[in-house]
Amino acid sequence: MGRVITVGAAQLGAIARAEPRAQVVERMLALLAQAKAHGCDLVVFPELALTTFFPRWFFDKQEEIDAFFEREMPGPDTRRLFDSAQQLGIGFYLGYAELAQEEGRTRRFNTSILVDKRGRIISKYRKIHLPGHAEHEPWRRFQHLEKRYFEVGNLGWPVIRWAFGEHKGLFGMAICNDRRWPETYRVMGLQGVEMILLGYNTPVHNPPAPEHDALSHFHNELVMQSGAYQNGTWVVGVAKAGNEEGVEQIGNSIIVAPSGEIVAACTTTADELAIARCDLDLCDSYKSTTFNFARHREPEQYRLIVERKGAAPPPE
Ligand code: CDT
């Protein structure tokens, strides 16, 4: 039988700057209901799912920036998502901009949460790999100011044991640019992760390296497929897609098995649900053989190489 969790990759199409959160939540509720009708235990929404991808603009007024942030979760507009999750008995991953009061100051993070089938937040992650730049760069067709608007996440990559039904599994989270870095998967792989949930907003055009544009789908699949395989874990990657305020964003939301194979994918750049029955027991076939970390990793060698800042000199 295995430990099967049915997962919905709930891709969102473009969100206009003027679109109110309540309307976006309405779109998400429709996807939640659709997911429930197909027997999903868990739905994964994108990064910064409640608003347009605001780091594409330079704002100099803090109140303009803060209008895109959530001060509480659930808040007045998002409460319905939590209520619906509880009524339907379905969990969800949600990415949002978090404004927190911590250490006696206001802090801003690019955050995701995992909410269980009773509508309770059971895990939180704050994005570590913030891409882009911190200063206004007017030469770009659009900005990518994540380094200006967010702090680097300070929660590590927690992996939690979640009983999603009659079975339990080990779940972790990552956000967008994190997926391009092997450390993201490996830090969770070392904690035994069995499913990584990951939302993203990826423009087709990368202003500093337009020569990569034609490879944006290839790179998207490459990193998630290799991260899944090399750590024997499922990866659920979900996009905010389509032409958002003149910026084309990739869709290409995928569910990847521990074999590295894509088992479900969205085919549009609109609101769309891709569903897969994911057996967490499949992880073991990789974790206990090719990627048996205890048997085959050589952390002492890695440490020596890093300390030496390179390979050993050739023997005399
Ligand atoms: N949101 C986010 O992290 N986007 C980045 C764009 C980088 S351009 C290659 C991403 O990695 O998709």
List of domains in the chain? 4-308 (3.60.110.10)
**Closest approach atom of ligand 1 to CA 202:** 12
Ligand 1 contacts (CB < 6 A) are 47, 131, 176-177, 180, 200-202, 206
Q: Taking the CA atoms of the chain, what radius of gyration do you get in angstroms? A: 20
> Are the C-beta atoms of 15 and 244 separated by less than 8 Å?
yes
Task: Output the pLDDT for position 312.
Answer: 82
**pLDDT tens per residue, range 28-72:** 999 999 999 999 999 999 999 999 999 999 999 999 999 999 999
Amino acid at 129: H
What positions carry a catalytic annotation? 47, 127, 176
Among protein residues, the one with the nearest Cα to ligand 1's atom 8 is 206
Atom number, ligand 1, closest to the C-alpha of residue 176? 3
For helices 79-88 and 21-37, the axis angle rounded to 10 degrees is 10
Show the tokens assigned to 49. Answer: 């799912």
Calculate how far, in angstroms, residue 128's C-alpha sits from the geometric centre of ligand 1.
Answer: 12
> What ligand 1 atom has the least distance to the C-alpha of 216?
9
Closest CA to 49 of 9, 86, 88, 87: 9
- 178-214 pLDDT, tens digit each: 999 999 999 999 999 999 999 999 999 999 999 999 9
Exposed/middle/buried for residue 55 (C-beta within 10 Å: 0-12, 13-18, 19+): buried
Nearest CA to ligand 1 atom 12: 202
pLDDT tens digit sequence for 252-307: 999 999 999 999 999 999 999 999 999 999 999 999 999 999 999 999 999 999 99
Q: Give distance in angstroms: CA of 176 to centre of ligand 1.
A: 6
The percent of residues in the chain predicted with pLDDT above 70, rounded, is 100
Q: Which two tokens stand for residue 309?
A: 């800042």
List pLDDT tens digits, range 146-164: 999 999 999 999 999 999 9
Nearest CA to ligand 1 atom 10: 177
Q: Name the residue of 68, 152, 201 whose CB sits within 8 Å of the most ligand 1 atoms, as the mutation to test its pocket.
A: 201
Residue of the CA atom closest to atom 9 of ligand 1: 206
- Give pLDDT, residue 316: 81
Distance between alpha carbon 106 and the CA centroid of its chain, in Å? 24
